[in-house]
Structure formats: C-alpha cells, structure tokens
Chain A
Amino acid sequence: MIPLAASSPEAADAANRCAPGLPESFCHQHEVTGCVGGNGLFCFDWAADNFDRYVGPFLRHLEIVAISVVAGFVIALGLALLSHRHRALVPPVLGATGILYTIPSIAFFFLLLPITGFGLATAVIPLSAYTLQIIYRNTIAGLANVPAEAKDAGRGMGMTERQLLWRVELPLATPEVVAGLRIAIVSTVAIATLAFLAGAGGLGQVLYEQLDFKTNIIMVGVLTIGMALVLDLIVVLAQRSVMPWRRAAR
C-alpha cells in the first residue's frame, strides 16, 4: 500500500511545533503577549517579516492553476470544436463534464491517490476536470450565437468550412469563450488551496501548517483572492488588445 493522507490534524499540529528540518518560523510561537502570541486578527509586523515564506507556495499555486486551466481549456475547446461538427456529441459531453463537476474536490483528490500517487498530477487532474464544463458550455453557446449573416458573408467570399471556423466563427465567439475562461480561472485559483491534500503544495499548504493563526489564514485568503483578481484582469486586458473592435463598439 502507498501512503495516502498527510495524517491526523493533531499529528500535523504536533509536527509543526518542533519538527526537525522545518524553519524556526514554522514552529508555533510560545510567547503569550503581543499580537502573535495573543493571536490577534492581523499582525502587520509579523506578516511583513514573514512575507518571504509565502512566495514559494504562491508561485507553486500559480503553477498548479496555470497547468490546470491550460489543460482544461485545450481539452474543452477541442471537445467543443468536435461537437460543433457533430451536434449529437453535445448532450453526452455536457452530461459527462457535469458528472465530473459534481465530485467534491477533496473526494476527487483522494480517489485519484491510489491511481496517480501523491503529487502534482493528482491535483491537476480534478482541477482541470472542473474547468471543462464551463469552458465547453460557453464555447458551444458562443459558436451557436454567431449570426447566420456573418457565416453567409464568409461563404460568399469563397471561404472553406475550416477558414470559416477560424476566421469568422471563432473570433465572433471569443467573448463567450473568454467569459467561460475567466470563471474557470477564478474558481480554479480558489479550489487550488485544497491541492495540498493531493500533495501538490500551494498556498493551502502554508494555511494548513498554522491553521489556527489568524494572520496566516488572512494572508493566504488575501493572496489567493489577489491572484484570482490579477489573473482575471490580465485576461480582460488581453481580450481587449486582441479584439480592438469590441472596444470601438462601446
């Protein structure tokens, strides 16, 4: 049998107190006065002094999100293009991605552990599976909403079906596809805080290491929400620069 979960919270807590190999700052503080000792709501000084401990997990979090969303986007787009040709595929794909979406993330991680083991793959597979439904549904809707006049005009210009897809249909469907992508990114950033349960690390790992220290919880929460907002903003700006005609229309 391979090792599965980290262990009980009590064991993890005890390990945190003075585990060999952990940096000094990870051990619980024993002072009973001051902001940290009294577990105040948010200790600015502590947060400023210990900011460096969040950098590594933050980048790891970003890596998990990036791999998951890119993989999910490629698969969902591929499925959408395939079912754009073969409409009969739409209900089964929607059904299958819907079932994946219903599996709670923690259960998904631990169901995969016996198959893929502790590590990045076990975190990325569920996270990318969750993005499929929303990106696929939005892409299908976007392609279906392309005005028939636009397609007729393209055909009249002598475009082949392939040219029509890449030069008329997909550009016109982009706003819906991007809307789906944005939802996928924001929710993946949030769910990835659980990726540490799959052994992939990320911001959830730092949270779990001191799960009763309020400053730590708030730092992780703020960094996670901040990452989601910044990534969302980047997508919006990228869409504007790629589709200047949308800006002109406003």
Chain B
Amino acid sequence: MIPLATVIDSFIGAFDFIFHQRDAVTGGDVQVGGLAYIWPFARTQLEVSAVALGGALAVGLPIGLVLGHIGKGEYFAVGFGNAGRAVPEIAVVFLLAALIGIGLGNVALALGILGLPPILTNTFVAMRQVDRTAVEAADGMGMRPWEVITRVELPLAAPTIMAGVRTAAINIFATATIASFVGLSTLGDFITNRSVYGDDGVVAGAIVIAVLAGLIELALAGVQRLVTPRGVKLQRAVRSA
C-alpha cells in the first residue's frame, strides 16, 4: 500500500500542474502546465468529439426515426446496439488508423462509429414506445407521415433519444483520449507522455478528462430536460405522485 502522504502529494502536484507553468521533465527551457497550456489539448479533444457525435447523430437519428416509425428492423436496430457494446474501442481506433491513416477527420470517423449504436438503438426503442393512440390521433387529423414523425413521435421520444445521445457523447469523449496514441494531440497526451509531463502531468490529465466528462454529462442532462415536452413531465409527476 502506498503511504497516504505520497497519495496526497500526487494530487497536490497534479493540481499545481493544472494551474501553474513549470519546466518540462525533459528540460531545455520548455514550459508545460497551466490552464493556457492545457486548453489547446482539451479543445482538440472536444472538437473531435463534437464532429464524431454530429456524424453519429446525422446517420443514426434518421435511420432510427424511420425504422421506428414504420416499426421494422427491430432485430437490426436493437442487435446493433447490443453488438456495439462488445466492440473494444481501442481496436476500432487503431484499426481505422492503420487502414485510412491518422488525423482529426479519420479519428472522428472511428469515434462516430462507436457512438452510432446507442443513438440508433435508443431512437428506435423510443419511437416504438410512443403511445400508439397519439400516433393514430395524428393520422386521423390528416397529418403526413413526416409530420407525424417530427410533430408527434419525435417530441414524445425525445427524452429516451437524448439518453442514447448522452451515452454516445460520454463514450466518444472518453475514447477520444486514446486518439493521442494515433497522433492527435488530445488530453491523452498528458497521460501517454510521462517522460515530458512527469507524474503530476499524468494525474492532471486524468483529472481534467474526468471533470470535462462530468461537465458534458451535466450539460446534456440539461438539454434532455429542455427537450422533454411539458406534457410528458406532467404525466410523470402524476404517475409518481
């Protein structure tokens, strides 16, 4: 067991790295650490995650909405999500790097593939859970199919879809850390380059990644609350009362 004082020292050192500049372990007048130094790495990780999530949404959402609306392809949509869980992220990232090369776009493609299953599955399941009587009422009012999707089913399905988006976003952001193995300077750089940043840099990187993941989760939870229709909230309140 490692003595408590050493543990506390590690974390004090890590916070010092986050907030203050210092000489790199490798020396040579190189300054590392401090928020201004860490920010570009965080921005790259956020950027590549945003592109990947956008791509996964652009592909998964329409497919899930259409399949869910017509009620076909359950085996595909749900099985895809279950199979997706078994795929090791690191293998996908490395395989795509070996196949199509490195760079922000290619890493975003790998991350987007990883974000697709939860979005597709949740969208499909959410659409199937929409009250059939609401859909029949919309049909009876003479709405066109895409009006039924966008004005009735999508709002009612929005909370469950957002739950899938949250899972995908956290997955993508977490995996973007690995992108530093394939040459993209994300926050993973601090973890993989102990020879430059020292032990303090490694723990500091881990802290920043965990904090940002928490903030993303909080922000998306807020979005989920915003997109939940008032009627659904009221219904839930009545049910739980």
Q: Which B residues are in CB contact (< 8 Å) with A11?
A: 195
The answer to whether A225 and B192 touch (CB under 8 A), given A111-B206, A186-B82, is: no
Selected contact of A214 from candidates B85, B98, B217, CB within 8 Å: B98
From 208 to 229 in chain A, residues with beta carbon under 8 angstroms from any chain B beta carbon are 211-214, 217-218, 220-221, 224-225, 228-229
User: A-facing mask of B55-78, CB < 8 A → 1, else 0?
Assistant: 000000000000000000000000
Per the bound structure, the CA–CA distance linking A157 and B171 in Å amounts to 49
A179 to chain B, nearest CB (A): 11
From 166 to 208 in chain B, residues with beta carbon under 8 angstroms from any chain A beta carbon are 170, 173-174, 177-178, 180-181, 188, 191-196, 198-199, 202-203, 205-207
Asked whether B2 lies within 8 Å of A111 as measured between CB atoms, the reply is no
Q: Which A residues are in CB contact (< 8 Å) with B207?
A: 107, 111
B137 interfacial by beta-carbon distance below 8 Å: no
Interface of A is mostly: helix
Asked whether A220 lies within 8 Å of B91 as measured between CB atoms, the reply is yes
Asked whether B206 lies within 8 Å of A221 as measured between CB atoms, the reply is no
Asked whether A217 lies within 8 Å of B87 as measured between CB atoms, the reply is no
B153 interfacial by beta-carbon distance below 8 Å: no
Residue of A nearest to B99 (CB): A214
Interface of B is mostly: helix
Q: Which A residues are in CB contact (< 8 Å) with B97?
A: 212
Asked whether B192 lies within 8 Å of A9 as measured between CB atoms, the reply is yes
From 39 to 64 in chain A, residues with beta carbon under 8 angstroms from any chain B beta carbon are 39
A116 interfacial by beta-carbon distance below 8 Å: yes
B86 interfacial by beta-carbon distance below 8 Å: yes
B123 to chain A, nearest CB (A): 19
A101 to chain B, nearest CB (A): 8
The answer to whether A212 and B87 touch (CB under 8 A), given A104-B170, A104-B174, A104-B210, is: no
B149 to chain A, nearest CB (A): 29
A131 interfacial by beta-carbon distance below 8 Å: no
Per the bound structure, the CA–CA distance linking A194 and B173 in Å amounts to 15
Most buried by B among A187, A211, A218: A211
Contact residues of A with B, CB < 8 Å? Answer: 1-9, 11, 39, 99, 102-111, 113-117, 183, 186-187, 189-191, 193-194, 197, 203-204, 207, 211-214, 217-218, 220-221, 224-225, 228-229
Q: List 12 A-B contacts (CB under 8 A).
A: A1-B199, A2-B2, A5-B194, A6-B192, A102-B170, A103-B210, A107-B209, A107-B210, A107-B213, A114-B2, A114-B7, A193-B91
